[in-house]
């Protein structure tokens, strides 16, 4: 984790001490994204039959289950140590026989129903469980973005991430030319959007698009919302894009905009923008055999 990210975490902790338990989880995630072992798990990209498919779609991923288990246990452990009642319900998952392969795939594919089933087996609070384990594939996805960012087509026009298929966490309006880029909260990827467009339904009619402007921030932090599908995206005016580790932090620091959007009746859709279909394949054991899962 960079010094800049550490400073932002410290400042958030100072400003919002009640966020301490959650910031401990985020710190664990950001530290893990810098581990080079995830770069070795980046798959060879599958040949896309659909021009709208993200780069990860259809891939076969060689998963080192033991390495993933260690990270999952540290992540859940950090959450449990936070001392909140809901986070404490995750503790049985550390003592039980947690299927990290099933967990990794469900979280990677944003399969909310499957994550709910896994949470139920341990009696964990479903919202707390899903919030924490949504970070399980993030270090892997960061590695994919590092490897594949140069391969993103400049003609990509979809509202979801060209790397992993997730909806954008926010948009950046950059520099004096005010170029607009979406940022992915899962892999930290970025992709351009040519005009003010709803990423969820594709609406471009300015009469159906609104901007909600908080009084204290002027126009540097706004909520772009769609009156047709009632989706929204946070938008920040910046000189340049934030570094990858800053995406999670900027998204977290702007949670007040999420609250404001919900109060106005807008929301983000659940699940991914594009359902990726991946195969998890165990890395070779000492015997040289492979095992695959299609959970």
Query: DSSP labels for 126-155?
Result: HHHHHHHHTTTTHHHHHHHHHHHGGGS-TT
Tens of pLDDT, residue by residue over 58-100, are 999 998 888 889 999 999 999 998 878 999 999 999 887 889 9
Compute the distance between CA of residue 24 and CA of residue 29 in angstroms, rounded to an integer. 9
CA atoms within 13 Å, Cβ hemisphere of 290 = 10
pLDDT of residue 122: 93
The two three-digit tokens of residue 53, written as one number = 């498919």
The two three-digit tokens of residue 174, written as one number = 């950059």
How far from chain centre, in Å, is Cα 152? 18
Angle separating helix axes 112-121 and 126-133, nearest 10 degrees: 120
Q: Tell me the sheet residues that pair with 226.
A: 209
* Mean pLDDT by groups of 10 residues along the chain of 295 residues: 82 90 93 92 76 91 88 93 88 87 94 94 94 96 95 90 97 92 96 89 94 82 96 95 94 94 95 92 53 39
Tens of pLDDT, residue by residue over 126-166, are 999 999 999 999 999 999 999 999 988 888 989 999 999 99
Q: Order of strands, edge to edge, in the sheet holding 232-238?
A: 190-192, 179-184, 168-174, 232-238, 221-226, 209-212
Compute the distance between CA of residue 21 and CA of residue 109 in angstroms, rounded to an integer. 26
pLDDT of residue 196: 84
Q: Model-level pTM?
A: 0.91
pLDDT of residue 217: 66
Radius of gyration of the chain (CA): 19
CA atoms within 13 Å, Cβ hemisphere of 7 = 3
Cβ–Cβ < 8 Å for 249, 212: no
pLDDT of residue 287: 39
Please choose, from the candidates 235, 246, 234, the residue with its C-alpha nearest in 3D space to the C-alpha of residue 179: 235
């Amino acid at each position: 984790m960079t010094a800049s990210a550490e400073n932002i975490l410290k400042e958030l902790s100072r400003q919002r001490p009640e966020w301490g338990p959650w910031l401990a989880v985020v710190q664990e995630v950001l530290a893990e994204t810098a581990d080079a072992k995830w770069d070795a798990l980046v798959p060879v990209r599958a040949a896309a039959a659909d021009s709208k498919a993200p780069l990860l779609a259809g891939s076969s991923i060689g998963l080192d289950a033991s390495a993933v288990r260690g990270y999952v246990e540290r992540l859940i452990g950090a959450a449990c140590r936070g001392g909140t009642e809901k986070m404490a319900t995750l503790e049985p998952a550390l003592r039980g026989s947690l299927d990290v392969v099933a967990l990794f795939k469900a979280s990677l594919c944003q399969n909310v129903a499957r994550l709910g089933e896994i949470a139920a087996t341990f009696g964990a609070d479903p919202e707390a469980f899903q919030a924490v384990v949504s970070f399980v594939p993030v270090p892997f996805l960061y590695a994919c973005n590092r490897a594949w960012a140069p391969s993103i087509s400049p003609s990509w026009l979809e509202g979801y991430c060209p790397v992993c298929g997730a909806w954008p966490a926010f948009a950046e309006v950059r520099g004096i030319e005010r170029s607009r880029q979406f940022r992915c909260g899962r892999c930290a990827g970025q992709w351009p959007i040519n005009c003010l467009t709803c990423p969820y339904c594709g609406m471009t009619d300015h009469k159906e698009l609104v901007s909600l402007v908080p009084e204290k921030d002027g126009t540097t932090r706004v909520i772009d919302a769609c009156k047709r599908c009632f989706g929204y995206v946070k938008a920040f005016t910046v000189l340049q894009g934030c570094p990858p580790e800053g995406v999670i932090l900027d998204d977290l620091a702007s949670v007040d905009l999420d609250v404001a959007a919900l109060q106005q009746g807008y929301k983000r859709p659940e699940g991914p923008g594009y359902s990726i279909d991946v195969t998890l394949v165990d890395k070779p054991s000492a015997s040289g055999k492979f095992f695959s899962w299609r959970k």
